[in-house]
Amino acid sequence: MLAVRARALLDGRLAPSIDDVLDLAEPVLKHRMALTFAARAEGESMDAVIGRLKAQIG
């Protein structure tokens, strides 16, 4: 949330938008998430997981 708020402020806006969330989702979540062994064994990728999350949001 801090990254999203900072991005909005840098763009001259006082409130973040859903576009800020979507644009920062991948770099933030890649840093914070890890796939389980089972997910990796099934061929899952972090990009695919984040892509599905972003599709559900917007």
Q: What is the mean pLDDT of each run of 10 residues along the chain (58 residues)?
A: 95 96 93 93 95 91
The pLDDT of residue 36: 95
CB 46 within 8 A of CB 33: yes
CB 45 within 8 A of CB 29: no
How far is 29 from 44, CA to CA, in rounded Å?
15
The pLDDT of residue 35: 94
How far is 16 from 48, CA to CA, in rounded Å?
25
Query: What's this model's pTM, rounded to 2 decimal places?
Result: 0.75
The pLDDT of residue 58: 80
The pLDDT of residue 31: 86
